[in-house]
Amino acid sequence: MKKSVLSIVLIVIAVLSFGKTLTIWVGGQVAELDETWNSVIKGFEQKYGIKVEVQLFGFDTYYDKLVTALQAGKGPDLAFADLGGWVPTFAEKGWLEPMEEQIKNWEGTPQIWPNLWPTVTYKGVRYGLPWYTDCRLLLYNKAMFEQAGLDPNNPPKTWSELLAAAQKITDAKNRVYGYGVSGTKTEHTTLGYMMFLYAAGGKLLTDDYSRAAFNTPEGLKALKFYTDLAKNYAVSPNAIQYHEDDYRNMMAQNRVAMSIGGPWSFPLIEAANPNIVGKYSVALHPYDSQPASVLGGWALVIPKSSPNKEDAWKLAAYLTSFDVWMKWVEEKGGPMPTRMDVCTKSMLANDPKWQVIFKTFPYAVARPPIPQYPQISEQIQIMVQRVLLNELTPEEAIKVAAENVNKILGAK
């Protein structure tokens, strides 16, 4: 009898302590950082007396799961949305709660990198709070460079140097490769092509986002070189099956020497192989005519269907607060905070790898912040795959992709 009474009392205390439960969906690379997430979420629960249920999804499945939930009006209270066009896309469909008033009055607003706000804005209203950002660079294995007789402190700077280094490192018989080309039907492939496109002096869309701008000599040159690395030069494993997350893990096992990566890569490659600490680094990605990078990251959004919108904002603001970000950086060494004050006041400021990142960030372009971007990205993925599979020549594939993108944009 006493045990029954005690059990009831404990249940009542638990209910009073956590009167409601918030759900947050986390996708992409951050989904792998479980330990820090548990600690951060526990801190929020203790501060606000609100229970938080975290659901983690891999990058390849997250978009479809989130869209399906939002369409059905059954989304979480708070969700991560890729800065590559997801927020304006979801806002246009009426799936998101505007955050403009909360953001205007939030203490952290002046600290968010200014070039991130357009990625979460639709028709002048902000629908997301940028949480982490990044810029893509060359991630490379210094030990593999040394083994191949290359200077690990002098990574390739141009496309020709990239090819030469990759060819010297590649030993296909022993499944060792110089560079990883992303060719899967995922966003990784779009980002890979964009890195080469902008490095060739091209661009994805016109400045007003009304037409395709990649069907040019620069865009074709980028497509040819990017796919040739895998097809003709054979310095990458079967690109149609792999993307940069796979290559990062292969790099940790000394099987791929170079790939596109970024600040999110550091804790993940070290988790894959703790012995690689100090044996990898980053550099500005090799370019043809100009330095280039692509800006990425994730924002926090509140679905319109959430019954707990006020508390969802509390969680979003908490996760993006100075103290929480400092904790995240101290424990994980990344990814790159959207807060400038954390970037300048944390341990990141004195890390050589992060100094490269901060120097590269000004070259980083954002993916078009328009609702049609996910459809456009799909066309780029299909274009690259058709070339890799020898279904179309680069000239044919880029022409078809540009025509399809123009149809998506309603261009005449």
Contact of 242 with 183, CB cutoff 8 Å: yes
Residue 32: predicted pLDDT = 54
Residue 56: predicted pLDDT = 87
Tokens of 112: 């968010």
Residue 28: predicted pLDDT = 67
Residue 129: predicted pLDDT = 98
- The Cα 184–Cα 102 span in angstroms is 38
Angle formed at CA 27 by CA 17 and CA 222, multiple of 5 degrees:
160
Contact of 334 with 351, CB cutoff 8 Å: no
Neighbour-count burial of 36, counting CB atoms closer than 10 A to its CB (0-12 exposed, 13-18 middle, 19+ buried): middle
- The Cα 263–Cα 335 span in angstroms is 5
> What's the Cα-to-Cα distance from 144 to each of 176, 279, 353, rounded to whole Å?
9, 9, 18
To the nearest 10 degrees (0 to 180), the angle between helices 394-409 and 217-231 is 130
Contact of 40 with 328, CB cutoff 8 Å: yes
Contact of 246 with 180, CB cutoff 8 Å: yes
From first to last of the 412 residues of the chain, give the pLDDT tens digit.
Answer: 433 433 333 333 344 445 689 999 998 655 455 688 899 999 999 999 999 999 988 877 898 999 999 999 999 999 999 998 899 999 999 999 999 999 999 999 999 998 899 899 999 999 999 999 989 999 999 999 999 999 999 999 999 999 999 999 999 999 999 999 999 999 999 999 999 999 999 999 999 999 999 999 999 999 999 999 999 999 999 999 999 999 999 999 999 999 999 988 988 999 999 999 999 999 999 999 999 999 988 999 999 999 999 999 999 999 999 999 999 999 887 788 999 999 999 999 999 999 999 899 889 999 998 889 989 999 999 999 999 999 999 999 999 999 999 999 998 7
Cα dihedral 66, 89, 243, 277 sign: negative
DSSP 143-185: HHHHHTT--TTS---BHHHHHHHHHHH-BGGGTBEEE----SS
pLDDT tens digits for range 77-98: 999 999 988 999 999 999 999 9
Residue 4: predicted pLDDT = 41
Contact of 127 with 91, CB cutoff 8 Å: yes
Angle formed at CA 131 by CA 125 and CA 136, multiple of 5 degrees:
105
Collapsed DSSP state (helix, strand, coil) of residue 263: coil
Half-sphere exposure of 383 (CA within 13 A, CB side): 33
Collapsed DSSP state (helix, strand, coil) of residue 354: helix
Residue 197: predicted pLDDT = 98
In DSSP terms, which residues pair with 30 in a beta bridge? none
Residue 18: predicted pLDDT = 54
In DSSP terms, which residues pair with 140 in a beta bridge? 258, 281
Residue 140: predicted pLDDT = 98
Residue 357: predicted pLDDT = 92
Residues 6+ apart with CB under 8 A from 134: 262, 263, 264, 295, 296, 297, 335, 336, 357
Angle formed at CA 168 by CA 166 and CA 169, multiple of 5 degrees:
65
pTM equals: 0.79
Residue 334: predicted pLDDT = 72
- The Cα 157–Cα 150 span in angstroms is 13
Contact of 381 with 185, CB cutoff 8 Å: yes
Q: Which residue reads 């989304």 in tokens?
A: 75
Q: Pairing relation of β-strands 293-301 and 364-366?
A: parallel
